Structure 1
Amino acid sequence: MSSIVTRTVGELTVGHVAGIIAAGVVIVRFVCPAILTYVLAGLLRDTETASTWTVANVGLQASIWTTLLRTDSTSSGGTARTLIRVTCKALPVMALLTAVVGIVTPLGLGEALAAGPARPGTFEYIQDDSAYGQGTSLRGQHSPSRICIGEHQGRRAPAGVCPGSNTELVFIDRPDGGGYTIDLPKGYNTSIPDETREIFSSGTGSSTVSNFFDIEYRQLSTEINPSFGDARFSVGMFRTLDSSILDDKYKVVEGLVVDAVHGGVGFRNHTIPVGVSRGAVWEEDILFVEPSTVCVDTNLTFTFNFVVDKNGSTNSIENLVLTDRGGFSRMNTTLPPLVVVDGQTDPELQQRAYKAAWLNNAFTMLYLNVTNEKDKPRQGMKSFSYMDSEIGKDFPMSQRATDGYEYLGLDNVFGSYLHLDGSIVGLKGGRNYSNPFNVSQVEFDSINDICAGTIRANRVNLTNIFAACGLLRGAPKRVDGGSSLVFESGSKWSSPLHACASSVRATIKTVQFRYNTTGIAALEVLAITPKLYATEADAPLWGLEDSGNRMDDFNPIWGLVSPEYATRKNVTTVRKAHFNLIGTSEPSAFGADGSDTIHIGSDQNLAGADFAQKSMNTVYRAVAAGGEWPIDLRGAASMSVFRRWQNMSADAATAGKIIDLMWTDVATSAVVGTRGMLGEVNSGTKPAGEVLIHPISNRITYDVRYAIPAAILIVWTGVIFLIALLCTCCCGGRAGFKTLRRRIEQLSVGRVFTTFLYPQESTLTMPAKQWRPSNGLKTITVDVVSRRAGEEMPYSRNGEGRETYGLIGTQKR
């Protein structure tokens, strides 16, 4: 729960500055004494008093010059006793180690902002000034509403009664027997009953987790419906605001926490803690709705050549072929099963996508006469009796300029590349295949129903989860050895083809926030992690409005419910970490007409019921070959988007993430969360309970790697103290302060001179207060040998004619 940001001066941290200062001190510590000692040597004369020699000796022998000039005290070689020599050598080593420690140890220091102890936080709303904030309608002006259709009094009513509604329908048969009309004596009540609101809001209580009614359309308006006497109804609307396709990070926008890394949106009306001078770090549990997509490689690719006109535009292709990479010639001829036992436990997206890929390839093979189906048109033949393909075989394809092979393609219509719609307008190239088994678009359209598993006629229940399916054609890559970022005329390119299946689910995640008091841009998401539960009994209880209606009557309400409502009539519950949303991929999507004007998002104001499904349908339809969209989801105009899709669509394992990120992009513009720490007016949400925050404060940090020299010094210091203790206790008492004093006096150069030159007046052991007045002022000349002041230097010649000198006044003691 902490974040460390070291403050720097330029490129230097506080620790570096401290280290530099320490290094300067060490240098001065060595250089200045060396200079002073150099000066001291110049000031010292050959004839000085004994005390002067003693004092000067301390400075000279303790200086670095003894090492640099390799004098007697440092160049004793093997003539000195080993223990004495080793001990003396250790002194400068320890001094050097101490200097290194003094320099290196401060380098690990850092000044940091870190999270402190937890305390209850007080929050306030913060406005988003980005495009998302500016494009969000004011809250509190539109209430949740819906219009339902369904069976009533045994008849199919285009304007049915929603569950719990007090709307009255009166069926009036036409005199001519041509059907009936519907009368609404009390008008049409679009509001949500209080009991329904209470049930599907009960599971969140006063928490930071949003309920179903905390999810609203980002743009809201009213609609006049002539079918209900020109009554006005609140409706959701949709218009794109911005894009997160290239963000690849967690971000906050008005009403949402956006996971642009993996895909998904979390619902939160953004509030920030107050009374924290440097900001704070905290965690909240938040309701997320997230997509999940699995793609399977069909092992078919499209290969073509770019055509670049004289203006440099890559607006057409030629020589388009469908290439068998094993999708035909190595196909498993056994029809794969698709069994979804429990859509809430496992939506079986892998099975759905694989079966869709298998059927797409099988029908394509029949159309191209690569193989045969059972008993048709030749009686007695088993399916796949012959195989007219091999790895690398090309099948020329016709194409339209609007197919968009130059970019990424995503289409919920399987087999669309065969152009079986009957229209030949704009078609060019390819070959007229015989289609001996009369494969039509109807067969390919059935793939979507099989893959999705849920159709409009199905009844609403927990197992009929929403699933959308389609073909993803990867962004093309160059295969002639040239750069995949250079579109040259005649260059050869290839795109893989994947079959994909997607679902959407609601879940609770823990979000870690950080805020540093500088606007909404400073409200950061540090981490998003799934909420963990110790046992299945601890998992949230999800409820579904189970009225027995068909899937195309209306999208049901769902949400977290309290256990007391688990047995309520028309409420079905499941206790899971995730709740796979219910629905069908057949209803319309946002802006399905491809225009760039205002898009009607819904005929009701109940975003939680349909925004996730509509967003996914939008992705599979708006990115279809030839489709347009205000945001460049295909990489048709944005080279950055095109390059990202190139890398991700090459492999089926990562291609599914493209759809998840596209869904996130659409959903971010579609909806907003209205629950925050302060509660929400429309849904009746009370303020959230206590949330603990960790205020950020200024602290000192340290990198322990820089403490290694100090650790070595501490160890050596301990060893030295241990040796000193052993010498004191176990060496016959030879070590001690008395002994130390005597050794110092024995090596005092002035005392040595007077003791050997004036043995009657000076000894090596006499107290300093006695030696100083009686011998300190004696003058001693130190030349080749030491002598009393004024005495001649004695010498004698040896047999070789050399002069030898002796120390005057010596006597054996």
Structure 2
Amino acid sequence: MLTVAEVSGLIAAAVMIVQYGLPAALVVILVKYVGTENTAVTWSVVNRTISTTIWPHLLRTDAANTRQVPTRVQIPSWAATAGAALLVLASVVTPLGLHDEIVPGESTLVEFQYVKDPGPWGRVTMPRPNAQFSRQCEVGTVINCPGQYQGVYMAETEPGVWRSLETDENSTINITIPENFTTMFTSATADQGNTVSGLFDIQYRRWKFNQDGLINKGQPYVRGDSRTIGTLITQERILLTEGLIVDMRDNPGIGFRNHTIPVGLEHGGTWTEDITWIEPVTKCADTNLSIELRIENTVDDFSNQNTFSIIDRGAFFGLDVTALESRAWIDNQTLDLFGRAHKAARMHNVLVASSLNISLPLDQSTEPLPKIPVTDTGSASPDMFSISSFDTIVLDQMRGVGGAPPEVPEYSGGNTSIPFVNHYPDGFKKLLALNYSAIAQICRGYYEIGATDNDWRANNITYPAVQCGAVLGTPLQPPNQNISASTYTGIETYQKNLYICASAVRASIKTVTFRYNGTGTLFGNLEAVHIADKVYADEMSKPLWAAEHSYDRAMRFDPLWGIVDNRYHTMGYKDGFYTLHAEKLWLPTSPFLTGNFGESEGYDALAAASGFTRRLGNLYGGLSDLGGPDYSGQHDYTLLERYQRLSHNATTAAQIPSLKMTDGLAAGLVGTKTSISTKYVAWPASLAVDDPASGIPRASVVEYRRVIRYDIRYAIPAFVMLALLLVALVWAVAILCSSRHILRTLRNMYNQTSTGRLAVNTLRPGQGDPQQSSREWVRQDGALALRFGQINVPGGDDFCTVVGGCDDAKADFCPKSESCQRAYDGGNSAPRRPSSDIPPGEKKGIAETSITVIPKQESIGA
């Protein structure tokens, strides 16, 4: 498509063609019909008409000649010609540098309005129910959430049998959120125009009603629901879906925003908003173990010989059984995910060595172990040694790489060579991992290892939720590497690296830059172009995060967390909450990291408390994989391609679990806070959203405006032309100022060298005034009829003849006069003077003539 500049250049070129072509064409017509006999002034006009066209240059006429011409005449003449050519070039090229741009203008407050996602993410999102937020904490022997005890408790009615008992007829399990909790968790986010989402601004995308006789006196209540929509992992960009900003690039995460757009802008605009951001973070450590599949095509039959092997890349160097010992993690909110993954990988490799009968420690001078054939795959992940799915990824719990169940005789049985002491010399507790489940518990941060996955820690802001598992990447070799018959050997070999990873969820506030293109109210015109950490002036300006704790008891509920007002900074143990000034918060842990049955949503409607830890708990395998979307890449080649790019090292492989979790969170959660929210959250907090359809947000919009830009390179011909013009003008002005009569000289020179006047003065010497004004000359001598005899037929008539005169210079025809005599003979005699110029004594014998002839010029050798 042509640009405005290109069209302008084409128009300029067309104008130049017309400017030079039309006069040239008209001259052809003029020459056809002008004839050979016209008044003197007509011949001057004809000469002027021809000389102003390109014909003198094309035909190389006398006027375009440079020989026998002084330099003082050649230079201005050539300069005029070059200037004309340069002007043509500049006229065409100069407009090409023009282009328009849409650029940011001034910042203004404009009206925003809500816009719905018209795609599947908008259609699958259910309307917000007119119901209250609900919270369930019924796990173990604690069935009431903190602050909500209303007469129901758990009792062991007989050995091993626990039942919920009501103390009176008014007893119930109250699952509403207490008023003081509602006030606290809306204190920093509910003011008008605040775009930061709080505890009650994050909801489940889909929901359903549930009912229980003990809960809220049997009244229906809302709980979360889930629905597979479609994976976003293949789209490596920032996406906008209903209620969310989804970043699927290298550092995936989601931001909560119920989308609104500016209205009434001619070209759109850009603005920034502070958004609550949830970021699944994963760090992986390479086990230096690989799984190899060797496929050999046997010629004798129609089967393949498939062999799995373990490839050692230095996995066991520097290891001994003492690597199974560990302190409990106390990294708290300075969470060291890589340290946890690295420690878990070392423990994992010790147990793998036990299963493969490898004695530790190895000799430091020993090369990596030779290829180890796999004979027992029973204890490994089901898909680790699957031929049909070998080109996919596997995210699973830590299970080793096959072989016998690990046994560490140094710590097992009665003949232990290393007496185990459950504490270090400095008094800190010592943990010992004798199975893969214990490794996961230590990686999560448990301080007590048991036969089950129960976390006996008391919930606290200093105990982040961490989940650990194994990632088996895709084959490192491209799947189509042996496609040439000349190089095919019948043997294919593929290797997959095994990583141990630790994942957590981090909350923060991001500054998101939005851009809206166009003037309509289209969701597709809205985009998030930049996401950055919010910058804070000092420590006190950072968010104050609050997280619920469980006092000194083991946790039995998903803790509440969120941003609160600074007036709550003194809260502590007695208040049930701890606070922290920080840019980011690692979400506190939950018993449902392990104590769930594959559900991705909680039992209640409080998505901010339950939605993240449930997804994190099912990240590495679990029951959720049985009915959830397929993240392996087996049925989606585009997904598999991205996994292949990420599987080559531990740093990039860490993106795989984070991408999976981000995709799940995007499907399950939605933000309800708009940029034009005006109402405070009142108690009891409702799931219904009652924001206005339009309003003025707090953020100012930098409105886009159209401006004209120019590429100065295209102006070079014009600058040269202007320089030539400037020199000529300065020179001409200097001459005009220094020569008083230059304009009169110019007029006389042009008049006296014009064709008609020159011919008349030559044919009738002495009979006219050379300096006669044009008006007088046209009325007198300009009316003489001249005939050029050799214009059409060379060698015919005389060159130029005065054939008559007219009283009216505007007459179309002048009558011929009688025949005339030669003005001079053969060009050798001087022109005859008029009789008025001859002395009386010389008039005798001279024939008087009124018509003069310039004879034809004989060619040389005629």
Short-chain TM bin: 0.7 to 0.9
1:159 is aligned to 142
1:558 aligned to which of 555, 558, 561: 561
Judge conservation of contact 2:198–2:562 (CA < 8 Å) in 1: yes
Q: Is this contact kept in 2: 1:543–1:571, CA < 8 A? A: yes
In structure 2, C-alpha distance between the alignment counterparts of 1:355 and 1:96, rounded to whole Å: 79
Counterpart amino acid of 1:500?
A: C
- Counterpart mapping for 1:71-220 below 5 A: 71-76=61-66, 79-82=68-71, 84-107=73-96, 118-148=107-137, 158-168=141-151, 183-185=166-168, 186-204=171-189, 205-206=191-192, 207-220=194-207
Q: Which of 669, 679, 697 is the matching residue for 1:690?
A: 697
2:838 — aligned with what? none
Whole-angstrom CA distance in 1 between matches of 2:560 and 2:202: 12
Contact 2:547/2:579 (8 A) holds in 1: yes
Residues in 1 aligned to 2:366 and 2:212: alpha-carbon distance in whole angstroms = 58
Deviation at 1:188, TM superposition (A): 1.4
Distance change in 2, residues 1:300/1:165 (3 Å): same
Question: What is the RMSD of the two structures over their aligned residues, measured on CA atoms?
Answer: 4.4
1:409-424 matched pairs, under 5 angstroms: 409-418=393-402
Cα pair 1:460 1:548 within 8 Å, conserved: yes
Q: Do 2:143 and 2:153's aligned partners in 1 also have CA atoms closer than 8 Å?
A: no
Distance 2:470 2:161 in 1: 43
What displacement does 1:667 show?
A: 0.5
Whether 1:406 aligns to 2:390 is: yes
Unmatched 5+ residue regions in structure 2? 413-431, 448-454, 803-819, 835-862
| TM-score computed with the length of structure 1 as normaliser | 0.80
SS of the residue corresponding to residue 159 of structure 1 reads: coil
Question: Which secondary structure state, in structure 2, belongs to the residue aligned with residue 478 of structure 1?
Answer: coil
* Contact 2:459 2:590 survives alignment (8 Å): no
Q: Please, which of 768, 777, 780 is the counterpart of residue 774 of structure 2?
A: 768
Q: Which residue number in structure 2 is paired with residue 506 of structure 1?
A: 507
Q: CA deviation at 1:304?
A: 0.3
Q: Say if 1:492 and 1:384 are closer, same or farther in 2 by CA, change over 3 A.
A: closer
The higher radius of gyration belongs to: 2
Partner of 1:5: none
Q: Which amino acid aligns with 1:196?
A: F
Q: d(CA) in 1 for partners of 2:265 and 2:116?
A: 18
Hey, what does 2:346 align to over in structure 1?
358
Shift of the alpha carbon at 1:289? 1.0
**Distance in 1, Cα, partners of 2:829 & 2:29:** 30
Taking a change above 3 Å as real, the CA distance of residues 795 and 755 of structure 1, as seen in their structure-2 partners, is: closer
Is the CA contact 1:34–1:63 (under 8 Å) kept in the aligned structure 2? yes
* Partner secondary structure for residue 572 of structure 1: strand
Does residue 745 of structure 1 match 2:751? yes
Displacement, 1:146?
2.0
| Cα distance, 1:674 vs structure 2 | 1.5
Determine if the alignment matches structure 1 residue 655 to structure 2 residue 653. Answer: yes
Question: 2:611 matched to which residue of 1?
Answer: 611
Change beyond 3 A, Cα 1:402–1:415: closer
Q: What CA distance in whole angstroms lies between the structure 2 residues aligned with 1:415 and 1:809?
A: 128
- The verdict on how the C-alpha distance between 1:577 and 1:685 changes in structure 2, with shifts beyond 3 A counting, is farther
Q: How far apart are 1:111 and its partner, in Å? A: 7.2
Do the aligned residues in 1 keep the contact of 2:555 with 2:591 (CA within 8 Å)?
no
State how far apart, in whole Å, the 1-side matches of 2:531 and 2:828 are.
Answer: 89
Asked whether the 8 Å contact 2:152–2:164 carries over to 1, the reply is: no
Aligned partner of 1:219: which letter? R
Q: Does 1:704 align with 2:704?
A: no
Paired amino acid for 2:671:
G
Q: Which residue of 2 aligns with 1:377?
A: none
> Quick check: 1:369–1:388 contact (8 Å CA) kept in 2?
no
- Offset, 1:578: 2.1
Tell whether 2:306 aligns with 1:323.
no
2:374 maps to 1:396: yes
Q: CA deviation at 1:44?
A: 4.3
Residue 330 (structure 1) shift: 8.5
Where structure 1 has 5 or more consecutive residues not aligned to the other structure, the ranges are 1-10, 151-156, 373-382, 423-433, 593-598, 797-803
**Are residues 324 and 769 of structure 1, via their aligned partners in 2, closer, same or farther at CA, if it must alter by over 3 Å?**
same
**C-alpha spacing 1:278/1:417, structure 2 compared with 1 (3 Å):** same
Alignment of 1:278-427 (within 5 A): 281-305=270-294, 318-328=306-316, 343-344=332-333, 346-372=334-360, 383-385=361-363, 389-390=367-368, 393-396=371-374, 398-399=376-377, 402-403=383-384, 404=386, 405-418=389-402
Shift of 1:31: 2.0
CA positional deviation for 1:645: 1.1
| CA offsets 1:456-488 (integer angstroms, 9 cap, x no match) | 223333332222222211112437982599999
- Report the residue type matching 1:575 in the other structure: H
Match of 1:529 in 2: 532
SS at match of 2:77: helix
Q: Secondary structure at the match of 2:602?
A: coil
Q: Which residue of 2 aligns with 1:265?
A: 254
Q: Distance in 2 between matches of 1:469 and 1:146?
A: 27
> 2:600–2:614: 8 Å Cα contact kept in structure 1?
no
Given the superposition, is the C-alpha separation of residues 55 and 333 from structure 1 closer, same or farther in structure 2, using an over 3 Å criterion?
A: farther
Tell me, yes or no, if the aligned pair for 1:410 and 1:470 is still in contact at 8 Å: no
Aligned to 2:856: none
Following superposition, the deviation at residue 203 of structure 1 comes to 1.1
- Structure 1 residue identity aligned to 2:179: D
**Which letter does structure 2 place at the counterpart of 1:574?**
L
CA–CA distance in structure 2, aligned partners of residues 693 and 806 of structure 1: 95
Contact 1:412–1:471 under 8 Å retained in 2? yes
Q: How far does the alpha carbon of each residue in 1:466-517 deviate from its partner, in whole angstroms, 9 at most, with x for none? A: 2222221111243798259999985322212223222221222224042643
Compared CA separation, residues 545 and 591, structure 1 to 2 (3 A): closer
Deviates more, 1:287-296 or 1:716-725: 716-725
CA distance in 2 between counterparts of 1:303 and 1:246 reads 27
Quote the Cα distance in structure 2 between the aligned partners of 1:225 and 1:102.
Answer: 84
Deviation at 1:718, TM superposition (A): 5.1
Aligned to 1:538, which of 532, 541, 547?
541
Q: How far off its partner does 1:197 sit? A: 1.3
